[in-house]
Amino acid sequence: MQGSSFRRSSIAGLPAGSGSALPALLLVGLFFIVPVVALLLRSVTDPEPGLQNYAALFGSGTYVRVFLNTFLVASVVTAVTIVVAFPVAWMLAIMPPALGSIVFGIIILSMWTNLLTRTYAWMVLLQRTGVINRALMALGIIHEPLPLINNLAGVTIGMVYIMLPFMILPLVGTLRAIDPMTLRAAALCGASPFEAFRRILLPLSLPGIAAGGLMVFVMSLGYFVTPALLGGTSNMMLAEMIAQTVQSLLNWGLGSAAAFVLLVVTMALYAIQLRLVGASRAGGGI
Amino acid sequence: MKLILTGLLAGLLAATAAKADEMAFTSWGGTTQEAQTKSWAAPFEASSGIKVLQDGPTDYGKLKAMVDAGNVTWDVVDVEMDFAIKAAKDGLLEPIDYAVVPKADLDPRFSNEHAVGSFYYSFVLAWNKGAVPGEPTGWADMFDTKKFPGKRTFYKWSAPGVIEIALLADGVPADKLYPLDLDRAFKKLDTIKSDIVWWGGGAESQQLIASGEAAFGQLWNGRVFALQQDGTDVGVAWNQNLTAADVLVVPKGAKNKGSAMKFLAAATSPTGQAKFAEASGYAPINTKAKAEMPADAVKALPDAHVDGQINLDMNYWAEHRDEIATRWYAWQTK
């Protein structure tokens, strides 16, 4: 029985054991593919058949602006996340395993805390009358509260914090696979620490950076809660705009079109990354 | 997030709402829905034996989706009146059965073929006394950043209120507000745009004012009332208070229509309205309700401040809802 199913899979060109992926495929098919098709249909049929929703979308200065802003915010968040995550990942990679797993645990722990709770916590910290501004003013470092919330700064801080684990995890995998001897060899050849980082460590860690970066970027594109609570309306992101279109304007057609465009852009980005980094590495060291 | 949450809740309700002795009531959450639960749902459950499931927050997109899909899990929904007028036109609502809901004592301003009044409220100017020097007296003060520095908070969504406030502050007389001059309103709002913090829900408006994060703002009078009840040091200016109403509607195809109508009768009864008004500070839509309220509770209502009171034009808004919203979000995201 086992043998025959193995043969059948081989004939179909599928690797052995593909059958056990069936539940996952069904789940994805039922709860992702079907809704996406419904979304697409809605965008070209609601309120009447045609492409008028897409015309309205690209013809509206508001949506174009929100689209551009969404990409701006996602780019800033991704860049900052990479810069902040890299030293942490490197530290984790070279730490003694026992200590490393404790630090790892702390990072993972933050992912287990409710997203909304964490975002509200940032509100308390960042607002004008918040902990950070009060402390800085009490210390005499600033005299006016810093504008840390309801703007791009607030969104960036809140989202980088949430995205960090998604960057650190793939990066640690890549960094651990780098032979530390390469850095020692660089030093022996006279490279300064910075040069060793720039010419050895950074190029070798690129697959991890690319994998983590893409994940952070794509997750940021569709983010709702954090930008809605920590951002201002002039940094509105697409997810919130879609929610408004549907909830307030009752325009499901336009909302669906916007969601579909975002999905297509996201998939295109993933395809580009697959091509650049190679399919086998796109998953990084996760 | 809101969509997902309401979706999940609605899904859960769908499994249970079909039972004959249950119905689902949806409102805006927070102190308002608590008062509705206490004043309407609890006594109604006791007298009728019909269990009232609470859901929320109200979500117009969700309501339309339910009606379109023919799977309506909400039986009575608290909505803004301008939405109700538009939704009735779009065929999203059941007609109110006035054979079950006594109409004689209802304020005719807030009840019609497809909606019965829930309560009416005023937008008032409220401020944190610790954060504002002096006393603002009218909407114009919210646009005077020299005299009154600090952040000011306004209702985030496109709805009756903020446009009118900007026009009043710019000197438009109350009886000349409609049709709304949107260009003029947005130009006025531009002058303080960087000082605005938006509130998306009642609890948020309370938090912003109570913490001093925003020095003052445009708040629902009931939310200010709740802050004062809690002992927060908030000032309130009733001058130019802007009235609007919430109404109760039954979505088209609601599964427990019969129970819903009985609930509406209880909610709009003099006693139900009196209890809710006392608990919330919002005004009753039943003309007999005030007779059942303690005198000092009546004083907290918008009715006690008819001098300088301005009625927001719900019919105008119902007609121009989409057009204003498109301009509103375009301006807001700029």
Do B31 and B97 lie in a common domain? yes
Using an 8 Å CB-CB cutoff, list chain A residues near B90.
Answer: 250
Output the domain CATH number for residue B214: 3.40.190.10
Residue B11 CA to residue A204 CA, distance in Å, equals 49
pLDDT in tens, A130-172: 999 999 999 999 998 899 998 999 999 999 999 999 999 999 9
Asked if B120 and B312 touch (Cβ cutoff 8 Å), the reply is no
Question: Given pLDDT bands bounded at 50, 70 and 90, which one contains residue A286?
Answer: very low
Which of A267-281, B114-128, B271-285 is predicted with the least confidence, judged by mean pLDDT? A267-281
Give the gap in angstroms from C-alpha B302 to the nearest C-alpha of chain A: 27
Do B88 and B20 lie in a common domain? yes
Specify which of A31-45, A216-230, B174-188, B200-214 reaches the highest per-range mean pLDDT. B174-188
Do B197 and B314 lie in a common domain? yes
Which of B2, B60, B198 is the closest to A250 by Cβ? B60
Confidence at residue B81, expressed as pLDDT on a 0 to 100 scale:
94
What is the residue extent of each domain of chain A?
61-282
A244: three-class secondary structure by DSSP:
helix
Instruction: Classify residue B106 by its DSSP letter.
Output: B
Do B101 and B138 lie in a common domain? no
Asked if A136 and A57 touch (Cβ cutoff 8 Å), the reply is no
Question: Given pLDDT bands bounded at 50, 70 and 90, which one contains residue B21?
Answer: confident
ipTM higher than the 0.95 cut: no
Which of A14-28, A269-283, B45-59 is predicted with the least confidence, judged by mean pLDDT? A269-283
pLDDT in tens, A60-81: 888 999 999 999 999 999 999 9
Q: Which of B199, B191, B186 is nearest to B143 (CA)?
A: B191
Question: Given pLDDT bands bounded at 50, 70 and 90, which one contains residue A260?
Answer: very high
Confidence at residue B201, expressed as pLDDT on a 0 to 100 scale:
84
Which residue would you say has higher pLDDT here, B23 or A13? B23
* Amino acid identity for residue B247 in this structure: V
Using an 8 Å CB-CB cutoff, list chain B residues near A258.
Answer: none
Looking at chain A, which residue has its C-alpha nearest residue B211?
A129
Q: What values do phi and psi take at B136, rounded to 5? A: -65, 145
B208, two tokens: 């912003």
Which residue would you say has higher pLDDT here, B151 or A14? B151
CB count, 10 Å around CB of B69?
9
Rg (CA), chain A: 23
Q: How many CA atoms lie within 13 A of B305 on its CB side?
A: 24
B334: three-class secondary structure by DSSP:
coil
CB of B135 within 8 Å of a chain A CB? The answer is no
Question: Rounded mean pLDDT of B32-61?
Answer: 95
Contact call for B333 and A244, based on CB within 8 A: no
Which of A69, A127, A248 is the closest to B60 by Cβ? A248
Q: Which of A261, A262, A168 is nearest to A223 (CA)?
A: A262
Q: Which of B82, B81, B88, B85 is nearest to B67 (CA)?
A: B88
Confidence at residue B62, expressed as pLDDT on a 0 to 100 scale:
93
Do B161 and B296 lie in a common domain? no
DSSP state letters, B151-210? -EEEE-SS-SSHHHHHHHHTT--GGG--S--HHHHHHHHHTTGGGEEEE-SHHHHHHHHH
Residue B29 CA to residue B180 CA, distance in Å, equals 31
Look up the domain containing B267 and give its range: 2-119+246-305
Contact call for A232 and B198, based on CB within 8 A: yes
Contact call for A62 and B65, based on CB within 8 A: no
Residue B206 CA to residue B192 CA, distance in Å, equals 21
Give the gap in angstroms from C-alpha A139 to the nearest C-alpha of chain B: 20
Do B322 and B197 lie in a common domain? yes
Asked if B215 and B196 touch (Cβ cutoff 8 Å), the reply is no
Do B136 and B114 lie in a common domain? no
Give the gap in angstroms from C-alpha A12 to the nearest C-alpha of chain B: 39
B147: three-class secondary structure by DSSP:
coil
pLDDT at B10 > cutoff 60: no
Say what angle helices A152-176 and A202-221 make with each other, to 10 degrees.
Answer: 140
CB of B91 within 8 Å of a chain A CB? The answer is no
Options 3.30.9.10, 3.40.140.10, 1.10.3720.10, 1.10.460.10; CATH of A61-282? 1.10.3720.10
| A141 CB burial (10 A radius; 0-12, 13-18, 19+) | exposed
Which residue would you say has higher pLDDT here, B11 or B163? B163
To test the contact with chain A by mutation, choose from B80, B93, B329 the residue with the greatest count of A C-beta atoms within 10 A, namely: B329
Domains contained in chain B, number = 2
Which residues make beta-bridge pairs with B127?
Answer: B216, B235
Instruction: Classify residue A49 by its DSSP letter.
Output: S
Using an 8 Å CB-CB cutoff, list chain B residues near A150.
Answer: 197
pLDDT at A95 > cutoff 80: yes
Do B197 and B258 lie in a common domain? no
B/e letters for A231-253, b = 16+ CB within 10 Å, e = fewer, are: bbbebbbbbbbbbbbbbbbbbbb
Residue A160 CA to residue A169 CA, distance in Å, equals 14
Interface of B with A in 204-263 (CB under 8 A): 211-213
Asked if B127 and B205 touch (Cβ cutoff 8 Å), the reply is no
Contact call for A241 and B329, based on CB within 8 A: yes
pLDDT at B6 > cutoff 60: no
Contact call for A244 and B211, based on CB within 8 A: no
Do B214 and B296 lie in a common domain? no
Task: Give chain A's contact residues with B (Cβ, < 8 Å).
Answer: 60-62, 65-66, 69, 116, 127-129, 150, 224-225, 228, 232-234, 236, 241, 243-244, 246-250, 252, 255
Give the gap in angstroms from C-alpha A55 to the nearest C-alpha of chain B: 15
Do B39 and B68 lie in a common domain? yes
